A and B are shown apart, each in its own frame.
Chain A
Amino acid sequence: QSALTQPPSASGSPGQSVTISCTGTSSDVGGYNSVSWYQQHPGKAPKLMIYEVTKRPSGVPDRFSGSKSGNTASLTVSGLQAEDEADYYCSSHAGTNNVLFGGGTKLTVL
């Protein structure tokens, strides 16, 4: 199975909003409400930001939100802050308890 498709880069100025897309197929993103989003700073382990498409773990700011339409999921970061600059990865159940990750998006805060 191919990785989920994410734009390689995204950017925004402090205070602005940015949306990162994650496109799959009806066999993964479109077929399950299992999309998660992870934030990864250089040299660090990933951190869960969104699970089950729209839910935030405790401690994740409500500036981070998730959504899905058809085979495409999205992560929106509102009120961009300098510390939001990181790599972001989506993932989804892909059937038979397999997991697919996206290729990652480097978010730059201008």
Chain B
Amino acid sequence: EVQLVESGGGLVQPGGSLRLSCGASGFTFGDYWMTWVRQAPGKGLEWVATIKPDGSEEYYVDSVKGRFTISRDNAKRSLFLQLNSLRAEDMTVYYCARFGYYFGIDVWGQGTTVTVSS
């Protein structure tokens, strides 16, 4: 079964850091562009970051540039998102996801929640 499982969410103070992880199974992880998408409670989806299959290129939404870093370990079938300098507006559910088609996300994790509060 094709599956993505996120972990690492939790409560962090404003200005703090957190590292999200995502484990992949059921497909050849290293063949796919991977991405993080977030969704605040009751709000819409927001693309956060994307990484190429070999990890050589990364792309970010403007609001997280310089604060978040996407990375991957193909040998361990894992995707990561390092969140630094966290703000209240970063408090959302973060989904790990796979681009199975041309800008079409066909596999989503269950989401992990980041809470930013003092």
Q: Which residues of A contact B (CB under 8 A)?
A: 1, 3, 32-34, 36, 38, 40, 45-48, 51-52, 55, 57, 89, 91-93, 96-104
B30 contacts chain A at the CB level, 8 A cutoff: no
CA distance A47 to B45 in the complex (A): 12
Verify A91–B106 contact, CB threshold 8 A: no
Interface class of chain B by DSSP:
strand
B46, B104, B109: residue with the most chain A Cβ atoms closer than 10 Å: B104
Say if the beta carbon of B85 comes within 8 Å of chain A.
Answer: no
Residues of chain B lying within 8 A (CB to CB) of residue A34 = 102-104
Interface residues of B in 46-98 (CB under 8 A from A): 46-47, 50, 57, 59, 61-62, 95
Q: Which of A45, A51, A52, A98 contacts B47 (CB 8 A)?
A: A98
CB distance A97 to B45 under 8 Å? no
Residue B35 is within 8 A (CB to CB) of chain A in the complex: yes
Q: How far is the CA of A51 from the CA of B108 in the complex (A)?
A: 15
* Size category of the binding interface on chain B: 20 to 34
Given A96-B59, A98-B59, verify A91-B44 contact (CB < 8 Å): no
6 more A-B contacts (CB under 8 A) besides A52-B101, A57-B106, A98-B61? A32-B103, A48-B106, A89-B45, A97-B59, A99-B103, A103-B44
